[in-house]
Structure 1
Amino acid sequence: MVAIALCAIGCQNLSLPSASTATTPVVIKLSGWGSDPTEQKLLKQVLKDFETQHPGIRVKYEVISDQYMDVIKTRLIGEAAPDVFYLDALEAPFLMSQNVLEPLDAYINSEFDLPDFEETLINSFKYDNHIYGLPKDYSTLTLFYNKQAFATAGLTSPPTTWDELLTYSKQLTVDKNQDGRIDQYGYGVIPELARQAYKIKAFGGQLVDENGYAAFASEAGLQGLQLVVDQYQKDRTSAQKSDVGTNSGSEMFGQSKVAMVIEGNWAIPYLKETFPQLDFATAEVPTINDKKGTMVFTVAYVMNKQSQHKAEAWELISYLTGKEGMEKWTATGFALPTRQSVAQKLGYEQDPVRSAFLAGVEYAMPWQAGKHPAAIMNNFDNQFVSALLGQQPLKQAMQRAQAEANKLIRAME
């Protein structure tokens, strides 16, 4: 029903208004989700700078704290959506297919320098040869490792292959108090699909097929997932956050419950603030099946097709994703710039902690799972944890997850 309603409003023939010449400033509504207070403060400053440079435009910024996408979809149906809003790459395929977003191609000129964006990120917001969003920032996944734990184990460099990671994990798994309990595991595993998809791809598997149905239970896809299950069950050198009484991969690494974990750029400020004594480093995700792989997560600014102030909305989007605005937004390091020139100017390619994140974006797998990601993601997560805990064989678990996901997808089409 949501899809039908969105399609109905998207098919209306709306004219493109020109920039206002009135003396009263045009108000543009921008919506995003809740985030770190420091991030909110920085965004408000960037928006203030935009208003200073564009005195004819005022930005009304709204934080949607709960059920963000449900709120956005409801407002799109009710013709009350904001002019500009955040759109996660995971949710983009569905909204782009509903004809409710304004294509940005006609607004982009050579001065905007579209080739400056990382191609992988731009492609996440392309549909039917149109660009519907401009990515504001991103993060890949990289390997975080505890330098002190490595030194104690006699390890001098991070693992470069998954076989090395498994070997290192054995050396790093220790019972510090000799009481029969593991005090430090070699590796912290996060079983969610968002952290496992690149392993499925490493052996030629895929998340969804060309028709948008779940396809992760193929023999090729199972090979990558089996690596995770075997390490957890047989080697016993990895732990989940619940095994060690923590709430996230970053926390179990920060508390030294695990010596290695694969996390995103968001972990850096958290670790530095919460665990200032922790001596850690990062490296690219170890290769699997002789192939480089990681995930990339990104969010774009998109324009509501029903906006009554499209010219002004574009001015806002182009500033926030332009070189000046993006530099201000990403200068503190909590987010990575999607423009290559900004990353170079800020020195992130030489940053010993962040350079691995930038290196991974060229070969990263975008975090997308078709038009109905929730059906795929939720069923995978539930069944994969069951397999990880040994409650059922991996193949059986994944076939069940795939079948149930596709049943739901068929019901939604």
Structure 2
Amino acid sequence: MQRRRFLGLAAAATTLGLTAGLSGCGSLGGDGGDVTLTLVAADYDLTGGDTTKKYWDGLVAAFQAKNPGIRIQVRVEPWTDIDRKVAELVKAGEAPDIAQIGAYADYAAAGQLYSADELLSIPVQANFLAPLVDAGEYKRTQYGLPFVASTRLLFYNKELFEKAGVDAPPTTWDELAAAAEKLDKKGVTYPFALPLGPEEAQAETMLWLLSGGGGYTDTVGRYDLDSQANIRTFGWLRDNLVAKGLTGPVAPGKLDRKSAFAAFASGKVGMLNGHPSLMRQAEKNGVTFGKVAVPGFDGREHASMGVADWIMGFKQNGHRKEIGTFLDFVFDDENVLKFAGEYDMLPVTVTASAAMQADPKAAHLREFLRTLPDSQLPPVGKTSWAQVSSSVKKEIGKAVEPGARPGDILGRLARQATAAESAE
């Protein structure tokens, strides 16, 4: 069976500057020998507010009350900047003690991170969901600690379905295409929104590869982009959705996820693949929707794609024990559930997931929770993944253009991926 691998959310608020005052980060303070840890964290507030900063402020206050010898300085940065800024700090020899960002593999490969078993207590480390542990490994050792997760489901507009005479959400590709045709006849702008534009094409691609019985990698974890299953998948998309004009007025290769989500939230999309944050966006505009497992090509429910954001401890300042003490606190169920609940994300631990599953207030997330334990993540444990992902974003939209040869596009991507992997 293919190794389970997982990948964020975008946010848009800038808070405290990252570089100012960080040159002394992680040094021993002058007040009684207390250790000061620096944490750089991503901003998840989609409204431009400061809820992420408030979360960390509250958590740090509670932690320091129990651990007066350890102080935490938090900087919150927007997703658009945080990975780059942390990379710049590390390159300058000013690594933070802890970073909560989108990727870990490059730092693990460079020997700059503590492993999970060097940081966490055994109960905490053993409590992560299995696919997230797999995805956090570099060369069979876990360095990436999953901070928050989500999965993908097929969202559909109930009102548009009713008007088009679609009685039930699709469970197969053929049913999806038939529903899209009915929606198209009723003048729906995007019968099926297929965002293969450069924003997050690698995620939409993986959803379709998995539902078609393929994936980015083979059973032993090697890149396998031009497998017969993958070529079949993109040939089907080209012939049954794109060529028939069922994906809307914007070519899939130019349609970004953000635009597709906005169109769904404004009632212009019949169906699309989405993650939990889309629910609030649609509800805010009064769109009535349903969500089901992503249809498989043969009617079976195939593994869905999951995503995870990561938190990690850097070795540079030598505060292994203090970092571990803080991260054990971060992964307390109460803290995990508070953050996940704030942003309609999924908890990363077994016990917190069970608690959310049983909570009536989280009923809207149960379908996502159900798919998480068996989800597969992108191969984020490969240092080559960033390069491969970038190539997919640039090229994959061409594979579904009318008259395109998906095998040629996927073959070129496969050769690039193999070369990148060989260079690891």
Query: What TM-score comes out, normalization by structure 2 length?
Result: 0.80
Write out aligned runs for 1:379-398 (5 A).
379-390=391-402, 392-398=404-410
Structure 1 unaligned spans of 5+: 1-16, 177-182
TM-superposed CA distance for 1:394, in Å, is 1.6
Residue among 415, 418, 422 paired with 1:403: 415
* Structure 1 residues 138 and 399, CA gap change in structure 2 (3 angstroms): same
TM-superposed CA distance for 1:340, in Å, is 3.0
Contact 2:330 2:336 in 1 (8 A): yes
In structure 1, C-alpha distance between the alignment counterparts of 2:359 and 2:192, rounded to whole Å: 26
Q: Percent identity?
A: 20
> 2:183 aligns to what?
172
Q: Secondary structure at the match of 1:55?
A: coil
Q: Secondary structure at the match of 2:374?
A: coil
In structure 1, C-alpha distance between the alignment counterparts of 2:371 and 2:359, rounded to whole Å: 11
Name the aligned partner's letter for residue 67 of structure 2: H
In structure 2, C-alpha distance between the alignment counterparts of 1:127 and 1:402, rounded to whole Å: 21
Q: Which moved more, 1:326-335 or 1:97-106?
A: 326-335
Write out aligned runs for 1:326-405 (5 A).
326-347=336-357, 351-368=362-379, 370-390=382-402, 392-405=404-417
The root-mean-square deviation of aligned C-alpha atoms, in Å, is 3.1
Contact 1:196 1:225 in 2 (8 A): no
Contact 1:207 1:216 in 2 (8 A): yes
Contact 1:188 1:260 in 2 (8 A): yes
Contact 1:214 1:376 in 2 (8 A): no
Q: Secondary structure at the match of 1:238?
A: coil
> 1:216 aligns to what?
225
Write out aligned runs for 1:1-400 (5 A).
23-36=32-45, 37=49, 38-65=51-78, 66-88=80-102, 91-112=103-124, 114-176=125-187, 183-191=188-196, 192-203=201-212, 205-208=214-217, 214-239=223-248, 247-273=258-284, 275=285, 277-289=286-298, 290-347=300-357, 351-368=362-379, 370-390=382-402, 392-400=404-412
> 1:6 aligns to what?
none
Contact 2:152 2:275 in 1 (8 A): yes
TM-superposed CA distance for 1:99, in Å, is 1.5
In structure 2, C-alpha distance between the alignment counterparts of 1:281 and 1:248, rounded to whole Å: 20
Contact 1:100 1:304 in 2 (8 A): yes
Q: Secondary structure at the match of 1:318?
A: helix
Query: What TM-score comes out, normalization by structure 1 length?
Result: 0.82
Name the aligned partner's letter for residue 286 of structure 1: P
TM-superposed CA distance for 1:26, in Å, is 2.1
CA deviation digits over 1:167-214, x for unaligned, max 9?
2212222444xxxxxx43321112212112243245554424699874
Q: Secondary structure at the match of 1:346?
A: helix
Contact 1:241 1:252 in 2 (8 A): no
CA deviation digits over 1:296-340, x for unaligned, max 9?
110121110223322111122111122122122223352211123
CA deviation digits over 1:85-142, x for unaligned, max 9?
1243xx3333322221101214433443x44321111211123443213212101111
Equivalenced residue count is 384
Q: Secondary structure at the match of 1:31?
A: strand
Structure 2 unaligned spans of 5+: 1-25
Q: Secondary structure at the match of 2:153?
A: strand
